[in-house]
Structures are given as structure tokens and as C-alpha cells.
Amino acid sequence: MSIRTCYMCELEATSDEHAPPRCLFPEQKDVPDGIDYRINLITVPSCEKHNSLKSHDDEYLLHVLSGSFTSSHVGLTQFITKVHRAFEKAPSKASSFIQRYEPILLKRHTDDEWEQGAQVKVEAERLDLVLGNCARALYFHETAQKLVGPVQVITAFTMYLDAEVQANITSSVDTTKAYFASHPPKGENPDVFWYKFDEGVNTVTFFMCFYSSSEVLVMLNKREQP
């Protein structure tokens, strides 16, 4: 009898991990038109450590993505429903999320008018951990192989204070988008999440998109496995 092991380690799988986290997908009660965004979600076998014990990090990813300037109406719906309920239930979560808050004026590329917004300093390492593990889970879903070596995450939905760093981030994302232009997107709920990936000799590259325009680039190193 074979035993299912975790997508991230050799421990026995005790549950199924959603990739990306299930909390990103709106519940039907929160969607006015009743669309089911939770059909055919991707899951992989997981141990306790790599699933339920990181649920707070999954929730943090939801807070950042749904409230981002790049979020679509689907993401904003998540913010004013699911995230709002979480903040009401646990005000400390709201306080922690906005403790490094500053008001700011923003202008979208497609709009000439400025609008009021908020600049919140995010926990980059926390985001990178969740997004990196999401890419590892998707790779396991695609190949049934585990990749747990070094990972590099680039979040295009966040802004960097260093202009040169921001320019390099933008350039990397634009180059990757151009490379993946002919690749069909994968994912049953593209209004919430879709991804593309390519496997080279030494690196696996994932291009992921949340809520229509919040883009993430993840590179997994195949050479340096523990």
C-alpha cells in the first residue's frame, strides 16, 4: 500500500493544500451574480506543517492582494466582504495590517484623474513564502515532482521605494510576459487566478496573475535541492 506524501516534504499527507489558497476565491454568498469561483480548485497532498499551520499567511496574502491598487472588482469584493468580516471579528488583524499606513494619491494608467488611496508597507518575506509555496504546489500538480530548493519571487503588484529597483522589477515582469505571450493560461477561475509556466534545464518559471492584473513572477531553482 502506497502512502501519499506532502508536496513539500516526505511526511505523510494528512490533507489537501489548495494552490493558490482557497480563501482567495470568493464564496457564492459574496458574489452578486452568484458565480461559483470555487469550482475545480487545484489541490495537492500536504502535511499539517505545510497546510493548516500556515493559514494566517494565506489570509495575509488575501488581505494584500484583494486590497491592492491592481485588484479587480472580484478582488475588491473579497476585501469589502470576507476581509471586512475578518477585521470586524478580530480588530487586531486590521490594526496589524494598517499599522504602517500612509495616505497617498494614485493614478491608473488608463485614467487621467488622481484618486485617494493608502500606502501600506507589506511584509515581503511573508508574501514571498506563500507565493513561493504556491508555485511549488503548482509544479507538483503539473509534474508530480517536488521542488523545494531556492526560490525567487517578484511581486509586480507592490511598489518599491528605490526607483532603480522598481525599474528592474518592471523590466523583468514585462520581459516574462512577452515570453509567455503565446502560452495559454491555466486555471478554471481566471477572474481570480491563472498561471503559465515553463521548465528549463536549471529553472522552472511561473507567471501568475491574481484578480486580473496583480502579477507575480516566481523562479524555482532545480539545481540546488536539499
pLDDT tens across 3-55, in order?
A: 899 999 999 999 999 999 999 999 999 987 778 999 999 999 999 888 877 78
Name the average pLDDT for the chain.
Answer: 88
According to the model, what pLDDT value does residue 158 have?
A: 86
Is the pLDDT at 119 greater than 70? The verdict is: no
pLDDT one-digit tens code per residue, 210-223: 999 999 999 999 87
Mean local confidence (pLDDT), 88-111: 67
Checking if the pLDDT of 105 tops 50, the result is: no
Which band of pLDDT confidence, cut at 50, 70 and 90, is reported for residue 121?
confident
Distance CA 134, CA 203 (A): 16
pLDDT value for 195: 98
> Is the pLDDT confidence value at 149 over 60?
yes
Contact between 195 and 49 under an 8 Å Cβ cutoff? The reply is no
pLDDT at 117: 54
Pick from 58-72, 103-117, 193-207: least confident: 103-117
Q: How far from 191 is each of 3, 121, 182, 221, CA to CA, in Å?
A: 35, 26, 19, 29
Percent of the chain with pLDDT over 90: 67
The residues pairing with 206 across neighbouring beta strands, listed in sequence order, are 197, 218
Grid coordinates of 115: 484618486
Of 226, 223, 210, 171, the closest CA to residue 78 belongs to 210
Q: What is the pLDDT of residue 145?
A: 95
User: How many whole angstroms separate alpha carbon 149 and alpha carbon 223?
Assistant: 8
What's the pLDDT score for residue 176?
Answer: 94
Span 103-125, average pLDDT: 62
Per-residue pLDDT at 132: 96
User: pLDDT tens across 159-200, in order?
Assistant: 777 889 889 999 999 999 999 999 999 999 999 999 999 999
